[in-house]
Amino acid sequence: MNSPSAQIPSVLASLLAAKSPTDQFHYLRKYLTSDASLISPIYNIPPSPRSRDDYISRALLFFRMWVRECDVKVRRWAWNEGKGVAFLEVEIVPVVRGVVGIRENLRGYLGWVGGERIAKWEVWERWRGWSVGGVVVLGLRKDVGGVWRVGKIEVLGQPVVGFPSPEEFLCGRLIH
């Protein structure tokens, strides 16, 4: 990123809402350092020389197995260039994959009572999930060419009452 203050929301959206695994891998290589780390309630991937390609890319592919696509909205965010830290409150609405083959199984079992209607059901192929809110902290650093890249992704979970605003967070309330 040449201008994190303008690009951070779109970068996060492109990482999570890429249209294909190939696009997602392209965005990972473009925006993450090769030794990036990912800390979340599900994953704890420490930095290592090839963590982006060996671990983070696989974690996101696992995510894509269940979530075909998603809408990512950044509710509010702040960027502190001096600390190289971005704080984002996000809302993610996943489109979850249906159970493979369940529609065909139902059609086979109920063919005599309306199998053609079941064949037209879209619910088994695509299901729009509930909105999930969360807080994401990105640690960025400049590479040799002066381009900002994400070196750390930390998913803190749901924002709660009393959680600091992006401005409070970046002013040092939670950063040690």
Instruction: Check: CB of residue 89 under 8 Å from CB of residue 157.
Output: no
Instruction: Tell if the pTM clears 0.85, that is, is over it.
Output: no
What average pLDDT does range 17-24 have in this prediction?
81
Rounded to the nearest angstrom, the gap between the alpha carbon of residue 19 and the centroid of all alpha carbons in its chain is: 13
- What are the tens digits of pLDDT across the range 98-157? 544 445 545 455 554 555 555 555 544 555 566 777 888 899 999 888 899 999 999 887
- What are the tens digits of pLDDT across the range 52-104? 999 998 888 777 766 767 788 888 888 888 889 998 888 887 776 554 444 55
The residue extents of the domains of the chain are 4-95+131-166
Element (H, E) at 153: strand 148-157
Look up the CATH architecture of domain 4-95+131-166.
Answer: Roll (3.10)
Q: State the Cα torsion 176-163-70-98 to the nearest 10°.
A: 110
Q: Parallel, antiparallel, or unpaired for β 148-157 and 32-39?
A: parallel
The answer, yes or no, to whether residue 42 has pLDDT greater than 80, is yes
Instruction: Check: CB of residue 32 under 8 Å from CB of residue 19.
Output: no
